[in-house]
Structure 1
């Protein structure tokens, strides 16, 4: 081994703390960057990966069975520009109801013998594929719908001859969203009403489909190859892709924020470690130069001492980052039907290369100073700071009415101001990460809370069919009676029962209807409210809640779509009648992608005099048991044809992912900050080991020694917390603003302003906690060092 190699090996082995700190910091930084980078890639491309794996359809086309034959449709697979095709599949539109005659929205059902194929390989999530008549595979995810499992349930079609029924035998997912359900092809005939025109579906993969123009060219080519009027509808994959991008795009802002924090902290701490190694090894540098080492060799030696543990840390960081990525991306795989591990080799290589480049750059900047030192100067310099540094701070701290060991420690950071400033910055980023993480989690929880508009929900009892004519109210149908629609409930009786119940704080009743608004194509959903708690759960962005007829409250996408603002008037058309309303408030409401308007029931009474509340949300007084309340009120409502249910609040899966990531990444950044403090205190203790021996000889006890070492980080910890706390608040606001911008919503102050003054004080003191945590090990080492050993060290 060469002399330079022996110096590197000796330095790595002798400076164990610095070696371990560099390795751990690089490992955590690389793990965080790999995790963030992999998730960033996954959040930008989950649909594209699923689309490629499942050979999704670039063009989903619907044809009139009376205008084109199966042979003609099959021949369209060979049209210029079509790379592959599947079909023709027979289709039908059904209007299903469940066993209690609860209607479902109209559904497009496709006759398909198997889920695979050259185009749109449907992924089974649960159950099996339909193999015979009477079986249905429904499109959806792997979560219960409305709290109910889908498998085994029946859909009936009472509007079709013979009232055919379909039993759900499987749940599947099509990345191209080509159907609401699938049956065997021979089932379609029974699902097509008499006199109704049948249809066929063709799925095409195009040779070029990266732009809307290319997809349109493919559609035009297919349409031209078939009889006129055969093509009735077509859907581009770009439309489906755009609709799927919003949720995953929300991950990007906070992943970028954590990535920047982690990189900056790693640079600061690695640079501080190398600078400290050079500072404490100044005399050794002089000896090396006296033995004939050139300045270039000295720089290479210290550069290698940083890169050796950095290489080990980077390798471990890649493994750890990928290991963390796999389970976190499992949710994305469930949502999109992919089977990816989430490991992106190019991300691993880019992160490792970037980390080693940063380590090399920071190490070279510190080591180059060592190479420029003259041999005589290096040999003449000891470990302790230059005389005079920090003397003013020491004199001032001596006047503080605290024990002398504590005041000695308080003055230590001022002897090495540049090093202390670096650690203050690292602690500040750690405190900012904690502040940001807690604030982001609280804000996202408040976003989810806006979906809850009461503690109890009251709705018609769908399990009770309408009694036969002439029967007493609440009478059960006789044996063999045909099931009928659920009975209409009496709003006045329901309201009287709600207001009379013990524990009621208020209620809101609402009915849903469809209206059109000037400036918008198609209809929009309107909720017509009654009661004194209609605004419960909604958060206002600007303006006020509606106070009476003729006033509406809408969200940001609605205002953006019609180009209006608060105070403007809008003309609604409801059942042929025009109603002029005024926008009095902007509310945070994500229902129907923000295209839902909220108003008083009296606003729509002229057009729909029969419009009455079909459901009620009840707000309970604090301390009321919701289960007991629902049982007691349910007994009163049952004869009225209504039932009371406790509102179950759960956490959205996307929020669970974000909260898990923020907790994990914050923990990693805290560890990095604590390691930086650990290294600084080790350097300080080693530089002052001779002074420590003098203090011990003069009677300083081990407890006083620990107090002095811990006190040496109090100033840097407090300064870091004071700087980091507002930085975290600012970061929370920036990230939330980006999330709102991506989703198209303005966020109300109630969601953004989540910090209480007491919490901000605690976050500011969080820097002190990080500093004390990082100083405990070196404080114990200093306390155990014997007086003789400390005095012999120079």
Structure 2
């Protein structure tokens, strides 16, 4: 073993605090970077790869067949300069029923003889493509439970068409562009169009430049100018499909990037401080090495290696931890694309490790080079605070405070090394910011979850069964038999029972159906309300809640997808009947990926006189016993086909995962910040060991020594907390807003502004807690140091 190797091995083994701190800091930085980077790649890579393989459509356009001919629609591809196009495909809207799901849900059907083609090559999942009349291939994205998905061989009945014809499901397929709910032979479209209903044409385009929304908008503007007036009924951008398809994965990216940046910045600060501390505490040892003939270059290499060894171990552990978290988070994501990616990228792992070690090497070299320049005589003169010319004014001022002398001495210590104190203040600030950010983000997610609760008690149609369901029949909740909607309860009797109950604050009846909107290929959910409390639980962003028929309230993704705003009118098609409605409000509502429509039940009365079985949500007055209320209400509902129960509050899997990851990463940052404080206090104590011996010789007790050491971090802890808490608030607001933006939502103020004044005070004091926690061990070591040992450093 070389002389330098022996020094390195001895230094790593003897300086355990520095070794552990460097390893943990690097592990944190690498874990956060690998997790954040992997999820960033995973949020787009599966979709992008599938989009490229299937030649996805950058722009999907829907035309009114009564206002444009097939030739005019086909010529539009050349007019907008499309690099490839497919169509025009004839389209119509059907509302099929199946034996598995008897709820009629409208879907856009496209006439297409071949799944391939230059644009949107549809990928078969099961079965085969249509070859003749009476057959259909259904779109499948894996989102619905298997029970509700029609399978190959099932028959779809079409009760809205003359003679109630049926379509046999011969296959299921995935369109990365989501261009249709199903495909039939082109000559079947006319037979599937209800009398009086309009058919249309669909055109698919690939564009030379389609990376931004502005480029897509420019293509749409050109298209609009080159087709007959009012013939273009809607368009869909691939960017919208990409965002929707990424699902919850893209939501992880902003907050993981925030933690990654915090971890990297803290790594730079702490590693610099740790290496400087290692050099400072080994000053005498460096002098001995120089006296034995070590050159400055050898000293630098020795301390550089002492930093890189634990950093390498930390980097390896960070890669393992980051990849393990990535695989867990992405376990179910790729089923939407038909891929099997784990999310682990070897090139990303290599890039992160190389970057982390390079950062450690540069930081350690800067600190270790100082050791190489020390003169042998200066290095051997260790133990006193010689050369510390700062802090005399602070020491004199603190001496005047009405505090015990050990405490006043400790309060003045940070001013003797302002640069070092600034570094540890920054580390404490990062820890306090991380804790503030984590709690704020958790509160924001809980507020988001709260927007999904629209009542304290719910009433389901159908009676509660007294015994188990018949053998062989699937069930869904409270013993109701699945497979078809229960008999609708008498609404007058239900409302009478609700309003008669003591403790009722308000109620709303909710009936769900589906409609289509021009320009959107898939049917959208509609919640039609009755009652006096339909807005309960919803958070408005702009406009107002609906107050009469033909008014709707929608979320941001709906406005984006339909290119509308509050005040505009849109046409809903419900079972072949067009209904013109006005958008009167924008609400935060994540149902149906933000595309759900909220309106009064009377809006759909002309199209659907008898809505499906209605459920009811009831808000209770404060202090009302929910269990007693439900028991009393069920007694009143005995003669009605309905059952009341307390509304369950299920926490979404995404929120659980985010809260768990946030807690883990925050604890890591706080621990590393505390270790940084520990390292600084150890360094300060070592440098002042002679002064400590003098204090002990003059009668300072162990308790007073502990008080002095802890007091030395009070100022840095308070300043770090005061800086970190506002930074955490700003970070929370920025990340929460960005998490909404990446999914197309605008967050209401009540979801973003979640901090209370007293909370911010506590977060500020959290910096003091981090500082005191980090100082306890070195304070105990200082208290145990013998006076003779301390004075021997003379």
* TM-score exceeds 0.5: yes
Instruction: Note if contact 1:605-1:611 (Cα within 8 Å) is conserved in structure 2.
Output: no
Provide the secondary structure at the position in 2 that maps to 1:457.
Answer: strand
Distance (Å, rounded) in 1 between the aligned partners of 2:555 and 2:139:
32
Residue 770 and residue 645 in structure 1: after superposition, are their counterparts in 2 closer, same or farther (change >3 A)?
Answer: same
| Corresponding position of 1:260 | 261
Cα shift at 1:19: 2.5
Distance (Å, rounded) in 1 between the aligned partners of 2:592 and 2:694:
74
Residue 551 and residue 58 in structure 1: after superposition, are their counterparts in 2 closer, same or farther (change >3 A)?
Answer: closer
Given the alignment of the two structures, is residue 458 of structure 1 paired with residue 470 of structure 2, yes or no? no
Given the alignment of the two structures, is residue 730 of structure 1 paired with residue 730 of structure 2, yes or no? yes
Which deviates more from structure 2 when the two are superposed, residues 496-505 or residues 704-713? 704-713
Distance (Å, rounded) in 2 between the aligned partners of 1:484 and 1:418:
72
Cα shift at 1:608: 7.0
Distance (Å, rounded) in 2 between the aligned partners of 1:571 and 1:2:
81
Residue 623 and residue 137 in structure 1: after superposition, are their counterparts in 2 closer, same or farther (change >3 A)?
Answer: farther
Given the alignment of the two structures, is residue 691 of structure 1 paired with residue 691 of structure 2, yes or no? yes
| Corresponding position of 1:395 | 396
| Corresponding position of 1:708 | 708
Provide the secondary structure at the position in 2 that maps to 1:451.
Answer: coil
What is the root-mean-square deviation of aligned Cα atoms in Å? 5.7
Instruction: Note if contact 1:634-1:644 (Cα within 8 Å) is conserved in structure 2.
Output: yes
Distance (Å, rounded) in 2 between the aligned partners of 1:359 and 1:625:
60
Cα shift at 1:548: 5.8
Distance (Å, rounded) in 1 between the aligned partners of 2:330 and 2:520:
38
Provide the secondary structure at the position in 1 that maps to 2:639.
Answer: helix
| Corresponding position of 1:742 | 742
Written as runs of structure 1 = structure 2, the 5 A alignment for 1:129-278 is 141=142, 157=157, 241=242, 243-245=244-246, 247-278=248-279
Cα shift at 1:253: 1.1
Q: What CA deviation, in whole Å up to 9, does each residue of 1:163-222 have, x standing for no partner?
A: 999999x9999978799899xxxxxxxxx99xxxxxxxxxxxx9x99999xxxxxxxxxx
Instruction: Note if contact 2:507-2:531 (Cα within 8 Å) is conserved in structure 1.
Output: yes
Cα shift at 1:436: 0.8
Given the alignment of the two structures, is residue 423 of structure 1 paired with residue 414 of structure 2, yes or no? no
Written as runs of structure 1 = structure 2, the 5 A alignment for 1:42-61 is 42-48=42-48
Instruction: Note if contact 1:456-1:647 (Cα within 8 Å) is conserved in structure 2.
Output: yes
Instruction: Note if contact 1:497-1:637 (Cα within 8 Å) is conserved in structure 2.
Output: yes
Cα shift at 1:97: 4.7
Q: What CA deviation, in whole Å up to 9, does each residue of 1:315-344 have, x standing for no partner?
A: 333233333333333243565554444322
Instruction: Note if contact 1:44-1:248 (Cα within 8 Å) is conserved in structure 2.
Output: no
Distance (Å, rounded) in 2 between the aligned partners of 1:382 and 1:790:
8
Provide the secondary structure at the position in 2 that maps to 1:540.
Answer: strand
Distance (Å, rounded) in 2 between the aligned partners of 1:543 and 1:137:
38
| Corresponding position of 2:768 | 768
* Structure 2: gaps spanning 5 or more residues: 61-82, 85-92, 112-120, 129-136, 184-191, 194-205, 213-234, 466-482
Distance (Å, rounded) in 2 between the aligned partners of 1:144 and 1:772:
53
Written as runs of structure 1 = structure 2, the 5 A alignment for 1:370-385 is 370-380=371-381, 382-384=383-385
Distance (Å, rounded) in 1 between the aligned partners of 2:175 and 2:247:
18
| Corresponding position of 2:589 | 589
Provide the secondary structure at the position in 2 that maps to 1:330.
Answer: coil
Written as runs of structure 1 = structure 2, the 5 A alignment for 1:611-622 is 614-622=614-622
Residue 312 and residue 389 in structure 1: after superposition, are their counterparts in 2 closer, same or farther (change >3 A)?
Answer: same
Instruction: Note if contact 2:509-2:614 (Cα within 8 Å) is conserved in structure 1.
Output: yes
Which deviates more from structure 2 when the two are superposed, residues 672-681 or residues 589-598? 589-598
| Corresponding position of 2:434 | 433
Instruction: Note if contact 1:528-1:600 (Cα within 8 Å) is conserved in structure 2.
Output: yes
Residue 641 and residue 320 in structure 1: after superposition, are their counterparts in 2 closer, same or farther (change >3 A)?
Answer: closer
| Corresponding position of 2:500 | 500
Which deviates more from structure 2 when the two are superposed, residues 722-731 or residues 352-361? 352-361
Provide the secondary structure at the position in 1 that maps to 2:402.
Answer: coil
Q: What CA deviation, in whole Å up to 9, does each residue of 1:512-546 have, x standing for no partner?
A: 57789999999976655443322211112234444
Q: What CA deviation, in whole Å up to 9, does each residue of 1:125-172 have, x standing for no partner?
A: xxx99xxxxxx9995658858xx89899x998595999999999x999
Distance (Å, rounded) in 2 between the aligned partners of 1:492 and 1:385:
90
Instruction: Note if contact 2:546-2:553 (Cα within 8 Å) is conserved in structure 1.
Output: yes
Given the alignment of the two structures, is residue 360 of structure 1 paired with residue 361 of structure 2, yes or no? yes
Residue 314 and residue 101 in structure 1: after superposition, are their counterparts in 2 closer, same or farther (change >3 A)?
Answer: closer
TM-score by length of 2: 0.74
| Corresponding position of 2:411 | 410
Provide the secondary structure at the position in 1 that maps to 2:651.
Answer: coil
Instruction: Note if contact 2:177-2:241 (Cα within 8 Å) is conserved in structure 1.
Output: yes
Instruction: Note if contact 1:32-1:668 (Cα within 8 Å) is conserved in structure 2.
Output: no
Distance (Å, rounded) in 2 between the aligned partners of 1:250 and 1:343:
18
Which deviates more from structure 2 when the two are superposed, residues 761-770 or residues 417-426? 761-770
Which deviates more from structure 2 when the two are superposed, residues 717-726 or residues 317-326? 317-326
Cα shift at 1:289: 4.0
Cα shift at 1:375: 4.3
Given the alignment of the two structures, is residue 652 of structure 1 paired with residue 660 of structure 2, yes or no? no
Cα shift at 1:668: 1.6
Instruction: Note if contact 2:280-2:687 (Cα within 8 Å) is conserved in structure 1.
Output: no
Residue 166 and residue 457 in structure 1: after superposition, are their counterparts in 2 closer, same or farther (change >3 A)?
Answer: farther
| Corresponding position of 1:95 | 96
Distance (Å, rounded) in 2 between the aligned partners of 1:775 and 1:600:
63
Residue 282 and residue 458 in structure 1: after superposition, are their counterparts in 2 closer, same or farther (change >3 A)?
Answer: same
Instruction: Note if contact 2:105-2:514 (Cα within 8 Å) is conserved in structure 1.
Output: no
Residue 627 and residue 697 in structure 1: after superposition, are their counterparts in 2 closer, same or farther (change >3 A)?
Answer: same
Distance (Å, rounded) in 1 between the aligned partners of 2:514 and 2:167:
30
Distance (Å, rounded) in 2 between the aligned partners of 1:578 and 1:526:
14
Instruction: Note if contact 2:106-2:516 (Cα within 8 Å) is conserved in structure 1.
Output: no
Instruction: Note if contact 1:460-1:489 (Cα within 8 Å) is conserved in structure 2.
Output: yes
| Corresponding position of 2:64 | none
Written as runs of structure 1 = structure 2, the 5 A alignment for 1:306-385 is 306-333=307-334, 338-380=339-381, 382-384=383-385
Instruction: Note if contact 1:443-1:751 (Cα within 8 Å) is conserved in structure 2.
Output: yes
Residue 149 and residue 519 in structure 1: after superposition, are their counterparts in 2 closer, same or farther (change >3 A)?
Answer: closer
Residue 521 and residue 329 in structure 1: after superposition, are their counterparts in 2 closer, same or farther (change >3 A)?
Answer: closer
| Corresponding position of 1:14 | 14
Distance (Å, rounded) in 2 between the aligned partners of 1:310 and 1:432:
24
Residue 717 and residue 238 in structure 1: after superposition, are their counterparts in 2 closer, same or farther (change >3 A)?
Answer: closer
Distance (Å, rounded) in 2 between the aligned partners of 1:399 and 1:645:
68
Provide the secondary structure at the position in 2 that maps to 1:250.
Answer: helix
Cα shift at 1:508: 1.9
Distance (Å, rounded) in 1 between the aligned partners of 2:508 and 2:723:
46
Cα shift at 1:380: 5.0
